[in-house]
Amino acid sequence: MGIHIMKILIKHKHSFGFSISIRSKTTSAKYVASRVRDPTFEKLMDKYKSLFKVIAIQDLILTNPRNPSVSIDFLSRLSQKLHLNRGATSFLRKFPHIFQIYYDPSKLLPFCRLTDAALDVSKQEENAINASLPMVADRLVRILSMSASKTVPLRAIFKVWRELGLPDNFEDSVISANPSVFQLCDAHEPNTHLLKLVEGVRRNGFRAAIEDWRVVECCKEDCNVRTELQFSFKHGYPPGMKLGKNFKAKVKEWQSSPYVGPYEVVVGEKKKSKAALMAMEKRAVSIVHEFLSLTVEKMVEVEKISQFRKWFGIDFNIRDLFLDHPGIFYLSTKGKRHTVFLREAYERGCLIEPNPVYDARRRLLDLVAMGRRCRSAINSNLQDGSSSSDNDGIEAEETQQRHGSLSS
C-alpha cells in the first residue's frame, strides 16, 4: 500500500508472480500537492497560521516575569524571523484581544504587553500543565519505551515540548525530579545529550490508543467483525475523496495484515517479502499513531516527529507514510509548514476528548479567530471596562504620532 512497499514489489514483480500498478514516479512536492484536501482541517490550520506567530510573540513577552512586555522596536527587528509580513505593529493591531500597544514615557519607546484576556489564558495553561506533571512523566516514559534502545535525544524532546504539554522547566520539574525513571547521558556527538529510561523501569505492558479503540469496538453489541478488528485502524476519509475498488481492496488487505504494537520488541532480521514489508509499515503507522495520541492537541509538525524516526526504527519517509494513509492521518501544508493531524481524534475541527491544556490553548485560538471583532464585549466580560478599549486606541494613536509608522 505504501510507496516503499510498491517500489520493492515492482523491482521483484517476476519473483512474486503477479503484476501490480504503482503510483507514477513524481516528486515529493507533487505527491503532497496531489492529496485530497479536507476543508475542516484546512480552515483550522488557517487559524493556526496566525496562532503560531501569536505564541512566538507571547513567549517573548512572558520571558521577563517582572515586567512582561517587549519593545515594538525589538519586534520590528524580528519581523522577518517571525514571518510578520507587514511588520510588527500591523500584526499586533490585528489581535487587540491579545496584545496592547502602549507608550513608556521613561524609555521614550512604544511597548507591547498582553491583555487581561491573554494573561488569563496563559495562567490557565500554566496551571493545567502543572496539574498534569504525573501524566507528562508517563508520556515521556511511553515515548522512550517505543525506542528500541529506550533512548531518544534530548534535543528531539525540546522540539516537541509544547506538543507534549511539558512545562518550560521540564528538565528540572520532570526529568531531574524523577531520577528513578529518567537518566541523562552523553552521546557520541559533541554537545548532545540523550534521555534514557533507568534500568528496571516498566517498559512493556502499555496498551496503545489504537488497541483501546479496538477493545471498545469489539465490546459493542452490534459488532460482528471482531476478527477483522484484531489488527485494524480506524479510518475516515476527506469528504469527496473517491475510493476505488483497488484502493478499497488494498486497504482491506492492509487492515487484516499482522499488527506489531508500538511498545512491542521486534526480534529477527528484516525481510523484504511483501508480508514483511507490510508488517514493517504497519508497525511504523502504529508508532506515529501512538505518538500523535500522546500529544496534547493530537497534531505535530512533520519535521519535529521526524527527529524520532531513527530512534523508533522507522525505515520509511514519515511524510509519505502520512500521505499513504489518508484515512488515519491528515497532512496540511498551511503556514509554510507540514502539520499532521490524527484524524480520528477530531470532529468538526475540535478534539472529541479535550483536556485542560487543550482547553486553554483553544481559548487563545478563539481570541486569534476573533481578530478585531467584539473587542468591547470581551473587555466587559473580564471586568476590564469599555474605557480600556478606548485607552488602548488612544495609546496606539499617540505612539503613531510620536514615532510615525513603525512598520508598514
* Residues 174, 167 contacting (CB under 8 angstroms): yes
For 119-145, the pLDDT digits (tens) are 999 999 999 999 999 999 999 999 999
- What confidence score (pLDDT) does residue 186 get? 84
Beta-strand (E) ranges in 283-393? 299-301, 329-332, 339-342, 346-347, 350-351
Q: Return the C-alpha cell found at 274.
A: 511483501
State yes or no: pLDDT of 351 exceeds 80.
yes
59 found inside a domain: yes
Q: Which of 30-39, 164-173, 387-396 has the lowest mean pLDDT?
A: 387-396
- What confidence score (pLDDT) does residue 381 get? 45
- Calculate the CA 344 to chain-centre distance: 14
Domain that holds residue 96: 34-119
Give the span between the Cα atoms of 183 and 181, in whole angstroms: 7
52 found inside a domain: yes
Closest by CA to 317, choosing from 343, 339, 341, 284, is 284
* Residues 255, 232 contacting (CB under 8 angstroms): yes
State how many domains the chain has.
1
For 282-295, the pLDDT digits (tens) are 999 999 999 999 99
356 found inside a domain: no
- What confidence score (pLDDT) does residue 195 get? 95
292 found inside a domain: no
- What confidence score (pLDDT) does residue 163 get? 96
- What confidence score (pLDDT) does residue 224 get? 55
For 150-164, the pLDDT digits (tens) are 999 999 999 999 999
Q: Which residue has the cell 467584539?
A: 374
* Residues 287, 260 contacting (CB under 8 angstroms): no
Please state, rounded to an integer, the average pLDDT across all residues of the chain. Answer: 83
Give the pTM: 0.82
Instruction: Beginning with the edge strand found earlier in the chain, give each strand of the sheet holding 329-332 in spatial order.
Output: 299-301, 339-342, 329-332
For 4-23, the pLDDT digits (tens) are 444 444 444 444 333 333 44
Q: What is the CATH number of the domain that holds 42?
A: 1.10.10
Q: Which residue has the cell 492537541?
A: 297
- What confidence score (pLDDT) does residue 204 get? 61
66 found inside a domain: yes
